[in-house]
């Protein structure tokens, strides 16, 4: 896996994305034309029938192709790589509640908080409803291996920010709690993973997911 270039950074608590800023595609909203120049709309029985048929076809298409959870790949899923350079889809590493942690060896704050994130993963290791997925962004595998050692297998690689941008992540470190394919909570910047308030947010997500 080739080494990605990245901008210079300092000791600020977060780092800006070296890739172009992520964007979220939003469905455009339209407003019906009004005023004297607005086109006249005529209705007829034949037009009404065609509208009904068109609506049925659109609904059928949405039902067929709309991304959903339950093992199917949705908008937040994507192709990553493991330490052996094998393709891995994010969805295969997720549980009922998943904490996705974006980090990199070129991000000093990421390295400073890494032991706490690993401790969090160890503390919840016995909870089958929870998973913590590390994603190294635009990073070099050798540098990651030097940092993680025998825990290298715990991280996945996103060399070109493709999955990272799906989470609208533009700073590192950044983490998101995902339940049923939806982001329910986010942690932007360095986080005190051992603090009671942070653990309570994770536990609340677990209770909501398992009690439902």
Determine contact, residues 164/102, Cβ cutoff 8 Å. yes
pLDDT digits 0-9 by tens, 82-93 = 999 999 999 999
Task: Name the class of domain 71-211.
Answer: alpha beta
**CB within 8 Å of 19: residues ≥ 6 apart:** 138, 160, 161, 165
Q: Is the pLDDT of residue 72 over 90?
A: no
Contact 134, 155 (CB under 8 A): yes
Mean pLDDT value of segment 56-74: 39
Q: What is the predicted pLDDT for the residue at 5?
A: 44
Q: How many other β-carbons are positioned within 10 Å of the β-carbon of residue 202?
A: 21
**How many C-beta atoms lie closer than 10 Å to residue 179's C-beta?**
20
Alpha-carbon separation of residue 32 from 28, 37, 38, 43, 77 (angstroms): 13, 12, 8, 16, 35
From 77, 79, 155, select the one nearest 111 (Cα to Cα).
155
pLDDT number for residue 198: 97
Q: What is the pTM of this model?
A: 0.66
Of 69, 79, 68, the residue nearest 161 (C-alpha): 79
User: Which pLDDT band, with edges at 50, 70 and 90, does 171 fall under?
Assistant: confident
CA 86 to CA 165: how far, in whole Å? 21
Pairing mode, strands 97-103 and 130-137:
parallel
Closest CA to 177 of 135, 156, 206: 206
Q: Rounded to whole angstroms, how far apart are CA atoms 82 and 158?
A: 9
Alpha-carbon span 22 to 29, nearest angstrom:
21
């Amino acid at each position: 896996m080739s080494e990605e270039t990245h901008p210079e950074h300092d000791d600020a608590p977060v780092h800006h994305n070296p890739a172009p800023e992520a964007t979220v595609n939003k469905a455009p909203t339209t407003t019906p034309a009004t005023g004297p120049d607005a086109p006249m709309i005529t209705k007829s029985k034949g037009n009404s029938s065609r509208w009904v048929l068109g609506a049925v076809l659109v609904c059928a298409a949405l039902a067929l192709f709309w991304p959903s959870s339950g093992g199917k790949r949705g908008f937040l899923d994507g192709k990553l790589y493991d330490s052996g350079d094998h393709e891995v889809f994010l969805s295969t590493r997720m549980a009922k509640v998943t904490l996705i942690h974006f980090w990199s060896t070129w991000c000093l704050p990421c390295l400073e908080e890494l032991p706490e994130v690993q401790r969090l993963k160890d503390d919840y290791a016995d909870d089958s409803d929870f998973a913590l997925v590390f994603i190294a962004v635009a990073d070099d595998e050798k540098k990651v291996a030097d940092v993680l050692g025998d825990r290298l297998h715990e991280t996945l690689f996103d060399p070109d920010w493709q999955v990272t941008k799906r989470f609208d992540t533009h700073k590192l470190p950044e983490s998101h709690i995902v339940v049923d394919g939806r982001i329910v909570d986010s942690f932007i910047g360095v986080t005190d993973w051992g603090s009671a308030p942070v653990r309570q947010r994770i536990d609340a997500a677990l209770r909501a997911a398992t009690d439902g």
